A and B are shown apart, each in its own frame.
Chain A
């Protein structure tokens, strides 16, 4: 264990008594340095690590600190798929990665990736689960046996024989876990697997990890959200600037003080759970006040009109169904009576909702419960939704909603069209006004990037470019769809700050999110949507 000593020296809190039996490590990284071609991010400098069989290890640290790079070293994507300068050796299960073909590792190392959308080869769920075993040439009988085993273990029978494109993010991630399981790998790597998941889907994910742990697999998790894995892990590695800076065993990590965690710029280890309890069981003190405020802001126009404080944004008749036939009759009935009972079969039914102007309003609820539908209707993308938005006594309906609002999508790449940041902002203006463009850009801290190509910017900067163009277009209501998924703590804080700044300058901000920390950080009010209804 010589290569371990370097790490031991910088270890802060390890009580040593709990370290594993020293058998031969299943993964060894020996003095590896790596740099991606043409990039300064994610580089590693002289890293040495080893992992024992059956260990569950968490890798944490800010974005770009090298977490993903380490996982790629182990599954062989580095150096075989992503090229760069690499020195040192990686030994996995007795094989040197450098001399092992990628496909030969398939039965040994399995990887669950961050984005459920882009890790599928098949179009149907069954095909996806058997894809791996088919590749390594198992007999059809054995493949089917494994498929049945995995399906019954993970209880995903209801997901079989479906199109992957119809599944929710959580269901997709379950299939991803199942298809990795079907290869029966000794080592499982998870690269920010919870980024796109809601709280329920995350607890399913935790179940999968727990099962793997029980089966004695070696598990490495790279993650920003720490609360859901904290009880599963045996060891935690904290990375920064391409090296392991600190290391704890599971017990020590769980006992870290909140200040210490904040100092390391990690997301809170326990805070999230408090919130989840608050939102699922309606208990918990922290959010109780927010919840009651949220309760106040629905269905009561009278109060809003009499209310002493500030202006209001009124949303009325936001009802919608994806089923064309249904939406016609039901919508009319629903609107006429204004009772919820008539609205069965509508994906969205919000007869009246009063929101404070110039505030940040969080929209929470499970995956697939109507949050996105709600946002799409508010910003006028669903033409058949008859909703009316009233701001300052002026009513906006139909296409006018498109001008009044702007949604920053989860994948912001879809909404950047031009070849420079400046052009992007000017495109949104009715009359090109360079002075105003500069003003908007400097407010968002984008002035230095004025002439850069939007696609060359980082994720957070892209997000701000999209916001700049929304402001240039004169949007008063800004909608954000999961703006912080996959962000580390520092970036999430930045987003929270920015949302509050936007609200301070008079925009009304609606944020749909799964991140309780973001709610705590910046939301003035919270709306809880469940099956298309405001609770």
Chain B
């Protein structure tokens, strides 16, 4: 079953999850809320048939959770567990935000996004910049893939053992091609009337449905409960 949400709901979810992510969970109840909030975007990804990414996120998050709860404790010693604690800590802490944002970016069309921005009376300048950022994710992925291929052929995947060069070899061609594409992209967009004084219209008609209202209420409630039990009890 496919559940489609309004872009505004998605943005609201990102906002709430980001807020919760910044407050460390300390009690089992708080942990529970956090985990539930993470599962919702994963389920939504599944409903959009994005199985691969949903399962990858689930495993990634799940493993980090299990490690934190059952194998690592304050008494863990040694370099390996130090690295693991740091790693799992970051994953467990920030993964919910990343998953929600991923869901939001991957399932929202640019047209829908622009329309949502307009309904929320966000200035066109900001809306267009954000839309371009969304448009650029797949481009960067494509370009990065080609650069990795080129590096493989040259046998310099590991920069000759030099970590700095490893980054340099990836970033320099990537920056060059992104700048070029960005330049051509904006030229093409301007010739089609982007940035005019006329108020932009949108063919996408957005309406909040039952699922949007339910999710927004659910997430608001979760945030309130989280804050209440963390700071006022």
Interface on A for B, CB 8 Å cutoff?
Answer: 75-77, 80-82, 101-107, 109-111, 113, 115, 117-124, 126-127, 130-140, 143-144, 147, 163, 165, 179-180, 183, 376, 379-381, 402-403, 405-407, 409, 411, 413-417, 427-428, 455, 469, 473
Contacting pair B196 A124 (CB below 8 A)? no
- Given contacts A81-B190, A428-B154, list 14 more A-B pairs with CB under 8 A: A82-B187, A101-B197, A102-B190, A103-B195, A103-B198, A111-B191, A121-B189, A122-B109, A134-B202, A140-B201, A147-B203, A409-B150, A414-B150, A414-B177
Contact (Cβ within 8 A) B176 A123: no
> Could you mark each residue 91-116 of chain B with 1 if its beta carbon is under 8 Å from any beta carbon of chain A, else 0?
00000000000000000011100100
Name which residue of chain A comes closest to B145, CB basis: A414
Bound-state Cα–Cα, A82 to B186, Å? 11
**Contacts A122-B135, A139-B201, A417-B169; A403 near B181 (Cβ below 8 A):** no
Q: Which residue of the partner chain, among B155, B180, B197, B199, contacts A403 with CB atoms under 8 Å? A: B155
Q: Residues of B with Cβ closer than 8 Å to A?
A: 109-111, 114, 131-132, 134-135, 138-139, 142-143, 146-147, 149-156, 160, 168-169, 172-173, 176-177, 180-181, 184-203, 205
10 residue pairs A–B, Cβ–Cβ below 8 Å: A102-B191, A106-B192, A106-B196, A109-B191, A123-B109, A132-B193, A135-B196, A417-B151, A417-B169, A427-B154
Which of B152, B160, B199 contacts A381 (CB under 8 A)? B152
The CA of A450 and the CA of B155, in the complex, are separated in Å by 22
Q: Are B111 and A413 in contact (CB under 8 A)?
A: no
Within the complex, which residue of B110, B147, B160, B197 is in contact with A103, where a contact is CB–CB below 8 Å?
B197
Q: Which of B155, B177, B195, B203 has the most CB of A within 10 A?
A: B203
| Cross-interface CB contact of A124 among B109, B186, B197, cutoff 8 Å | B109
Are A135 and B188 within 8 A (Cβ)? no
Closest chain A residue, CB of each to CB of B141? A165
Instruction: Tell me which residues across on chain B come within 8 A of A111, comparing CB atoms.
Output: 188, 191
Q: A137, B154: Cβ atoms under 8 Å?
A: no
Q: Which 3 A-B pairs have the closest CB atoms?
A: A106-B193, A103-B196, A135-B193
Residue of A whose beta carbon sits closest to that of B114: A134
Q: A124: nearest residue on chain B (CB-CB)?
A: B109
Contact among A119, A137, A411 with B200 in the assembled complex (CB-CB below 8 Å) = A137
Which of B132, B181, B198: most chain A Cβ within 10 A? B198
A76 to B193: give the CA distance in the assembly, Å.
Answer: 12
Report chain B residues within 8 Å CB of A137.
196, 198-201
Determine the chain A residues whose CB is within 8 A of the CB of B202 once the complex forms.
134, 140
CB-CB under 8 A from B197, the residues of chain A are 101, 103
Decide: A106 near B191, CB < 8 A? Known: A123-B110, A140-B203.
Answer: yes
Nearest Cβ on chain B to A36's Cβ, whole angstroms: 13
Residues of A within 8 A of B201 (CB): 133-134, 137-140, 143
Task: Let me know if A381 and B153 touch, CB within 8 A.
Answer: yes
Q: Please indicate the chain A residues that have their CB under 8 angstroms from the CB of B173 in the complex.
A: 413-417
Smallest CB–CB gap between A161 and chain B, Å?
A: 10
Q: Which of B131, B138, B150, B176 is within 8 Å of A165, CB to CB?
A: B138
In the complex with contacts A122-B111, A381-B152, A413-B177, A136-B185 CB distance below 8 A: no
Least distance between A383 CB and chain B CB atoms (Å): 10
Q: B147 to chain A: which residues have CB within 8 Å? A: 414-415
Q: Which residue of B lies closest to A406 (CB)?
A: B153
Given contacts A106-B196, A409-B146, contact A124 B191 (CB under 8 A): no
Report the separation of the CA atoms of residues A183 and B132 in the bound assembly, to the nearest whole angstrom: 21
In angstroms, Cα B109 to Cα A133, docked, is 17
> Whole-angstrom distance between the alpha carbons of A299 and B155 in the complex?
32
If the complex has contacts A118-B188, A119-B185, A409-B146, are A135 and B153 also in contact, measured as CB distance less than 8 A? no
Q: For A179, list chain B residues within 8 Å (CB).
A: 192
CB distance from B110 to the nearest CB of A (A): 5
Min CB–CB distance B11 → chain A (angstroms): 17
- Residue of B156, B185, B195 near A427 (CB, 8 A) is B156
Contact A415 B150 (CB under 8 A): yes
Neighbouring B residues of A107 by C-beta, 8 Å: 193
A483 to chain B, nearest CB (A): 15
Smallest beta-carbon distance B123→chain A, Å:
15
